[in-house]
Amino acid sequence: MKPIVRVNNLGKLYRIGERRAGYDTLRESIVRAVRAPLKNLVNQNGRRSSNTIWALKHVSFDVAPGEVVGIIGSNGAGKSTLLKLLSRITEPTEGTIELYGRLASLLEVGTGFHPELTGRENVYLNGAILGMRKVEIDRKFDEIVAFAELEKFLDTPVKHYSSGMYMRLAFAVASHLEPEILLVDEVLAVGDAAFQKKCLGKMGEVAKHGRTVLFVSHNLTAVKSLCRRTLRLDKGQLVDAGNTEQVILNYIQSGTQTSKERHWDDPSSAPGSSDVRLHHISITPVAQDPDLPITVQTPVRFEAAFWNYVPDAVLNFSIVLYNIEGVPVFNTGSGARDFPAGLVRGSFVIPGDFLNDDTYTVRILIVKDTSIALLDMSEVLMFDVQDANREGNWYGKWIGIVRPKFDWHLSVETTPLQDLHPVKSSV
């Protein structure tokens, strides 16, 4: 099958430096042009300086018609640059891109919208940019408005829209005007949870109709649910491609560095503010050598301490646990109470037979008066929970984020075998 997207040896080089404000005079332009080669030749140490960076380098892949492809990678990996090149927002430094279909992209909130035009007018403007005739836009118009849920604001200039309203209308236009290729960046994070779910459902519907979707996201759960194939970028290069489950697993394993304990002995350099500063946080197995691995059967103790500098402050000290895909497992807190100034300590135990085998990250929050976050620190700890040793055959990973071991009560009513009449199935 002929690909609908073909990328060959793609590269994008950017020059590092500040963007000049305003316009140069002719004299300033000439001086800057003369100085530029000299800046590239030497730096203060007499060595050749490098004021350029390859955002992408030697990237090649094909996408088949109707395929939904995920694109993942850490911040700065080149994901958004790739979509901007595919969207023709910017030109590649090297390599080629071949597109065999009409393309719509949702890369930034309000991309392609004119702020002085109303929502209604921007729907028709975007449709015209996509090459659609007015009769086609008319046919889809009511669906777009209903999806965006912006009927009351349709004739308001979009410059008065919030970022969430912008995103609703932009996604509704991009997904309903029937492009053969749809590019979606992490812009969905702007919307609320309900609308994000609605957008993900719409992308799945778009894919079922045979259109092609390239989806960039840090939400690995969403990538898993939508994409059979995924590309992983790292430092501008394509380092992995294939089955989504395997690519995500490789990505997680490549970046996993566990840290089960952190200390800050000097308050001046500790995380926090003039109100509170974190002293230490740790997770250790209960009644077990701390050097042994934590398994699903191991009880673990969380301990943390912080300096409180506000006398009689009403504080809530809480921990949020996430699995490696960023899905929150639970949130537990001390409850709001008065704390005197001093070193505040807290701990709790997660019992054995509760967590599933996975890699987890810890977020710590200290909230004043139930509403003011004095400290909010994500990924302060990272730790692994391994499966326990098993006998016999095992069919795979236990389903679910947690795997609690409840007390089951079973009973059997004994019946003579001759009184049992199994139902015979007919072929």
- Read off the pLDDT of residues 326-346 as tens digits, 9 standing for 90 and up: 788 999 999 988 989 999 999
List the single range of 36-40, 129-133, 253-257, 303-307 with lowest mean pLDDT: 36-40
List of residues 6+ apart from 104 with CB closer than 8 A? 130, 173, 174, 175, 177, 179, 181, 182, 183
Q: Are both 5-254 and 261-385 of the same fold? A: no
Residue 204: predicted pLDDT? 75
- The residue that leads in pLDDT, 226 or 345, is 345
Q: Residue 364, exposed/middle/buried by CB under 10 A (0-12, 13-18, 19+)?
A: buried
Percent of the chain with pLDDT over 90: 31
Q: Are 298 and 260 in contact (CB under 8 A)?
A: no
Residue 309: predicted pLDDT? 93
Q: How confident is the model at residue 42 (pLDDT cuts 50, 70, 90)?
A: very low
Structure token digits, residue 397: 């990973």
Domain 5-254 fold: Rossmann fold (3.40.50)
pLDDT tens digit sequence for 45-74: 444 445 788 999 999 999 999 899 999 987
Could you count the other beta carbons within 10 Å of the beta carbon of residue 13?
14
Residue 41: predicted pLDDT? 44
The answer regarding whether domain 261-385 maps to CATH 3.30.1600.10 reads no
Residue 46: predicted pLDDT? 47
Query: What value does the mean pLDDT take over residues 10-20?
Result: 74
With 50 as the cut, is the pLDDT of residue 44 above it?
A: no
Residue 71: predicted pLDDT? 94
Query: Measuring CA to CA, which residue among 147, 145, 119, 123 is closest to residue 134?
Result: 123
- Strands (DSSP E) contained in 153-299 are 181-184, 212-216, 229-234, 237-243, 261-263, 276-285
405, containing H or E segment: none
Q: How confident is the model at residue 175 (pLDDT cuts 50, 70, 90)?
A: confident
- The residue that leads in pLDDT, 174 or 123, is 123
Residue 189: predicted pLDDT? 55
Query: What value does the mean pLDDT take over residues 101-113?
Result: 72
Q: Where are the domains of the chain?
A: 5-254, 261-385
Burial code of 106-137, b = ≥16 C-beta within 10 A, e = fewer?
bbbbbbbbeeeebbbbbbbbbbeebebeeeeb
pTM passes above 0.85: no
Residue 257: predicted pLDDT? 57
pLDDT tens digit sequence for 336-378: 889 899 999 999 999 999 999 888 889 999 998 887 889 988 8
Average pLDDT, the chain: 82
pLDDT tens digit sequence for 136-148: 889 989 988 888 8
Percent of the chain with pLDDT over 70: 82
